[in-house]
């Protein structure tokens, strides 16, 4: 009987070798600056109680109304695959009382996120983010550092063709003052029922509407930045001046609307120039009320999520991926089955000495094995025979130019370390 093949689900992005090497490299570069700044790993479930996102991310967002993978589990509970990371981190912080210790709580995370969007280049239904959250302190210096950490991640990738956009969504007082005028403005527009309802939940959302007629109507709408309270305005001025001191270049985008409802105060996005419609490579901001909304103390936090898939596309577009670093230092070939044990020990020893080493498996001819070595891209090849086993020395063939170099098996640094 012949079985049909099964394909991956629609819109899912997966990474196989050799591309997965680039993916792994990109992810490391993006998160290293956060680790160096004292952020510690948080591993969280990929599914949560649906109420967490309804309440945390917000009922007016596309994410909650259209894009969540929600299902009933076997116990009849409503479960949702996480569309983003911040709500889950906050849930875990509150549940485990981390906010009762040293503040800010500084954590990083990395993993899959799920949004049932229409798939296209750079937009997937399962995608990857690395992110950080710094929870419990409201200090503009922290805002600037969080933004600088994200920026350093993109710089680590060698990216140049991107810009950082920042804005302030203000505190409760600023938003309340703006809301009054914005609602008045929106009441004078000819909007369909669904859009009006959205405006009732979060009028800022209408700025994010992609329809040209709505965009045109909103062109003269009152802008939140003009309503910032003294506190918010001073806070934002400080963030900007710290960023300038850090040498992080930014542009102000007064009309930025993020896709999630919890943002307040400093809010930002990184936009890449080579990615077409899906140009957002990362974004984040401050959230003053999220913790309280989720049943915790009234403490503020700030964080970001960087899109690993899109950062990889950006690195490909700017041609910044390293070529050589995914190849082994050493490829070891055993001359016949009796030499396999020595080849295995030599490989293990090479790895203990700090080098990557691969063994040629299967019983192929020396010619076939050399082809394998060539294909692997390893820097050096060693062939293990009787005399190598007896003497403990090998001849390493440098693949780039064919040079042969004799070395003791335990002293690889002399050759490979150079």
Give the interface with ligand HAM as residue ranges (CB under 6 A). Answer: 84-86, 115, 117, 122-124, 127, 129, 131, 133, 259-260, 280-285, 303-305, 307, 309-310
Nearer to ligand HAM, 123 or 198 (CB): 123
Q: In angstroms, give the least distance from the CB of 291 to ligand HAM.
A: 13
CB burial readout 67-82, b (16+ within 10 A) else e: bbbbeeeeeeeebbbb
Tokens 């913790």 correspond to 291
Segments of 70-184 assigned E as strands: 70-72, 78-81, 105-114, 126-135, 162-168
Nearer to ligand HAM, 80 or 342 (CB): 80
Q: In angstroms, give the least distance from the CB of 30 to ligand HAM.
A: 11
In Å, what is the CA distance from 194 to each residue of 70, 173, 191, 197, 229? 22, 27, 8, 5, 31
Q: Are 82 and 52 in contact (CB under 8 A)?
A: no
Order the strands of the 78-81 sheet from edge to edge.
47-49, 78-81, 70-72
Nearer to ligand HAM, 127 or 154 (CB): 127
Q: Structure tokens of 388?
A: 């190598």
Q: In angstroms, give the least distance from the CB of 233 to ligand HAM.
A: 22
Q: In angstroms, give the least distance from the CB of 147 to ligand HAM.
A: 11
| CA 262 remoteness from chain centre | 19
Nearest position to ligand HAM, beta carbon:
307
Nearer to ligand HAM, 125 or 389 (CB): 125
Quick one: CA dihedral 385, 387, 389, 395, positive or negative? negative
Q: In angstroms, give the least distance from the CB of 271 to ligand HAM.
A: 9
Peptide bond into 344 cis (omega under 30): no
Nearer to ligand HAM, 9 or 402 (CB): 9
With CA atoms as reference, report the closest residue to 64 among 77, 74, 51.
Answer: 51
Distance (Å, rounded) from C-alpha 375 to C-alpha 292? 57
Nearer to ligand HAM, 135 or 412 (CB): 135
Distance (Å, rounded) from C-alpha 298 to C-alpha 292? 5
Q: In angstroms, give the least distance from the CB of 353 to ligand HAM.
A: 40
Nearer to ligand HAM, 28 or 117 (CB): 117
Nearer to ligand HAM, 65 or 196 (CB): 65
Order the strands of the 251-252 sheet from edge to edge.
40-41, 105-114, 126-135, 301-307, 280-287, 264-272, 162-168, 251-252
| CA 140 remoteness from chain centre | 23
Q: In angstroms, give the least distance from the CB of 87 to ligand HAM.
A: 8
Q: In angstroms, give the least distance from the CB of 43 to ligand HAM.
A: 16
């Amino acid at each position: 009987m012949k079985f049909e093949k099964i394909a991956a689900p629609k819109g899912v992005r997966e990474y196989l070798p050799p591309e997965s090497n680039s993916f792994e490299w990109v992810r490391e570069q993006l998160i290293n600056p956060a680790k160096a700044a004292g952020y510690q790993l948080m591993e969280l479930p990929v599914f949560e109680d649906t109420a967490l996102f309804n309440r945390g991310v917000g009922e007016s967002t596309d994410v909650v109304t259209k894009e969540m993978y929600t299902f009933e589990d076997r116990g009849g509970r409503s479960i949702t695959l996480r569309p983003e990371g911040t709500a889950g981190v906050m849930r875990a912080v509150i549940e485990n009382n981390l906010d009762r210790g040293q503040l800010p709580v500084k954590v990083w995370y990395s993993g899959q996120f799920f949004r049932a969007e229409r798939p296209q280049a750079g937009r997937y239904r399962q995608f990857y983010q690395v992110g950080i959250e710094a929870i419990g302190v409201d200090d503009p210096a922290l805002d600037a550092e969080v933004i600088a950490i994200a920026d350093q991640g993109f710089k680590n990738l060698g990216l140049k063709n991107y810009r950082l956009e920042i804005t302030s969504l203000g505190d409760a007082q600023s938003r309340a003052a703006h809301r009054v005028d914005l609602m008045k403005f929106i009441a004078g527009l000819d909007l369909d029922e669904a859009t009006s309802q959205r405006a009732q939940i979060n009028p800022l959302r209408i700025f994010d509407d992609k329809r040209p007629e709505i965009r045109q109507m909103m062109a003269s709408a009152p802008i939140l930045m003009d309503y910032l309270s003294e506190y918010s305005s001073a806070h934002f001025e400080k963030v900007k001046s710290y960023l300038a001191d850090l040498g992080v270049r930014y542009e102000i985008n007064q009309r930025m609307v993020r896709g999630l409802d919890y943002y307040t105060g400093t809010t930002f996005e990184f936009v890449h120039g080579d990615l077409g419609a899906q140009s957002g490579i990362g974004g984040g901001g401050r959230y003053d009320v999220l913790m309280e909304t989720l049943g915790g103390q009234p403490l503020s936090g700030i964080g970001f999520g960087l899109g690993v898939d899109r950062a990889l596309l950006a690195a490909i577009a700017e041609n910044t991926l390293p070529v050589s670093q995914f190849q082994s230092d050493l490829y070891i070939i055993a001359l016949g089955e009796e030499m396999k044990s020595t080849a295995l020990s030599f490989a293990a020893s090479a790895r203990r000495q700090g080098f990557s080493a691969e063994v040629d498996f299967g019983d192929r001819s020396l010619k076939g094995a050399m082809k394998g070595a060539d294909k692997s891209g390893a820097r050096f090849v060693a062939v293990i025979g009787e005399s190598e086993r007896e003497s403990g020395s090998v001849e390493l063939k440098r693949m780039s130019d064919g040079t042969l170099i004799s070395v003791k098996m335990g002293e690889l640094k002399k050759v490979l370390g150079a």
